[in-house]
A and B are shown apart, each in its own frame.
Chain A
Amino acid sequence: MIQFMMFLVVGIIPLLFPEKIHIENRSTIFFIVSLALVTSIIFEITRQYFISKRKDTNLLLNIQLLTSVILLTPFLHLFGRINGPFFVLYLLTVMESFLNLNYVFSYLVVGIMLISTSIEFIWLVLIGEVALGFITVVGFVVRVLSLIFISAYGFVLARKTLSEEKARNQMQEYAERLKELDKQKDEFISVAAHELRTPLTAIKGYISMLLDGDVGKLSDDVGGVLNRTSLAVGRMIRLINNLLDVGRIEEGRIIYRMGYLKLSGVVETVYDEFREEAKMRGIKLTLDIQKDIKDWVYVDSDRIYEVVGNLMTNAFKYTEEGSVKMKADNKDKGFVRVEVKDTGLGIAKDDQKNLFQKYYRSKSSAGKIEGTGLGLYVTRLLVEKFGGRVGVFSQVGKGSTFWFELPLAEDAEENKRRESQMA
């Protein structure tokens, strides 16, 4: 009875505190194996104690030895006298769980144990030790029950561990594959954009030659049309630059040509560029630059031009009528701020926080208004690169205000003078 209780208690412990014993890994299975082993040893010692209290100790030990030697020779050789079959059976079960073998081995071992115990029991009864015979039988039943109990437990654990590991491996495989595909896509975009840029450069060059009067004087009408063509080409180049820049900025292999400039100058240039389009579309375009503005910044001029251009392209894209206002000030100490305010569709609150993410298109615009979802992402990357911030205020139906801030460059004028002297 004592052995039975001990066996049960030790066997049940892991079940009672599953959260204490982390059953996700193999070391737990080892723990349970050792537990089973220790339990078996205690059990066997108890059994030997009962046997040793009998008068004819030697005979009894010889009977046990004989039956075991006959039937369990291979296991005895391996594990000695102490509950060899139990341990072997347990190990086999665990191994099976891993190797997905069938149960034939387990049945075999249990069968051998059954036969060995039966012979032992009959022998004991025949020589008149009936009580000891029953102890042996009860011991056998307890052993087999615990065995099944612990084995099943181990099996479930192993299964769980295996399936979890499989799932984890699969996830990792998918992740790798996605990463690879993402890289391929980036490369494709980069190559495609690069190819697109060459003919566009030629178009841009020819147009600028025409506008410069290199091939003869143009009538005002022709000049106007060419100006608009030039605007469209400019926008296309900006779009392609965005596609190209994404990869470059992310990989940190973009060339920044840093220098000092007055941000209001960039704003004015972009304003001039969009005046024609505003006139054509009947949108009121205004420019408001704070008087005595302090706006020297240290940036790559082409890139910052792109940033302002991106905000303006967006404003015009989403505004069918009304106005677009450009504003520059340095009310915030140490920063110069540029705002582009439109009276367009506006953006829902949920969309706002995602606007500056890669490939993000707001729900209202996706599918209706074309775009790559890159403009604002590139804008953010560039502004952050130059130490600034971007943001948006918006109300659906009323319009949006996109803004960015850049830190003022200290001693910029002096540095600029030195730069030009050196050049």
Chain B
Amino acid sequence: MTDSEENKEKEAPVILLVEDDMLLTDMYTMKLKLGGFKVLTAMNGEAGLRIALEEDVDLILLDMLLPRMQGIEVLKELRKSEKCKDTPVIALTNLAKEDLRQEAFDLGVKDFLIKAQENPDKVVEIIKKVLRK
């Protein structure tokens, strides 16, 4: 591996995708990799929180309806931790409840996306916009 390649690898922002559906995980992983990101995945809330706290993560895509630990709980824990309290989080869900949305925004999510309504293209676009800021 040359130096420049190594740098490029380092430059690629790391996205943590916390999503319990395998197909959606696979689809978003493909799309995010194509968009030039490095992707880590977790299939439940607990694993998601652990990875977020252990690894260097630039942005977290967080499903709200998760096994073992609900998305909103993960978000609360992240905000409590020293390491991840400022990590940008985008909620990605099919659970379009107004109170949940409000709670998520109160906890500082950058956006609250409804999976069925957004093309993966748009999701990548929004991630890029958030990371640019």
Contacts and interface: CB of A to CB of B under 8 A. Distances in A.
B30 interface: yes
Contacts of B26: 202
B96 A248 contact: yes
A237 B120 contact: no
Contact of A205 (B24, B97, B98, B101): B24
A194 interface: yes
A138 interface: no
B31 interface: yes
Contacts of B2: none
A228 interface: no
Interface string B19-61: 0010110111011001000000000000000000000000000
B27 A205 contact: yes
Given A202-B24, A214-B34, A248-B96, A255 B101 contact: yes
A201 B121 contact: no
A237 B119 CA distance: 13
A215 B120 CA distance: 14
Contacts of B95: 194
Interface string A157-195: 000000000000000000000000000000000000010
B94 A205 contact: no
A292 B79 CA distance: 51
B81 interface: no
B98 A255 contact: yes
B117 interface: yes
B24 A198 contact: yes
A248 B121 CA distance: 27
B30 A204 contact: no
B115 interface: yes
A269 B120 CA distance: 19
A240 B34 CA distance: 29
What class of interface size applies to chain A in its complex with B? Answer: 20 to 34
A249 to B, nearest CB: 12
Interface in A184-231: 194, 197-202, 204-206, 208-209, 212, 214-215
Which 5 A-B pairs rank lowest in CB-CB distance, beginning with the nearest? A202-B23, A205-B27, A205-B120, A201-B115, A197-B116
Contacts of A254: 96, 98
B21 A202 contact: yes
Max chain B C-beta neighbours (<10 A), residue from A214, A241, A248: A214
A302 B31 contact: no
A202 B119 CA distance: 10
A368 interface: no
A214 B115 CA distance: 19
A53 interface: no
A194 B30 contact: no
Nearest to A237: B116
B74 to A, nearest CB: 19
Contact of B94 (A194, A215, A255): A194
A199 B121 contact: no
B117 A205 contact: no
Contacts of A291: none
A140 to B, nearest CB: 77
A214 B97 contact: no
B18 to A, nearest CB: 15
Interface in A71-113: none
A55 interface: no
Contacts of A198: 21, 23-24, 94, 115
Interface in B107-133: 114-117, 119-121
B97 A202 contact: no
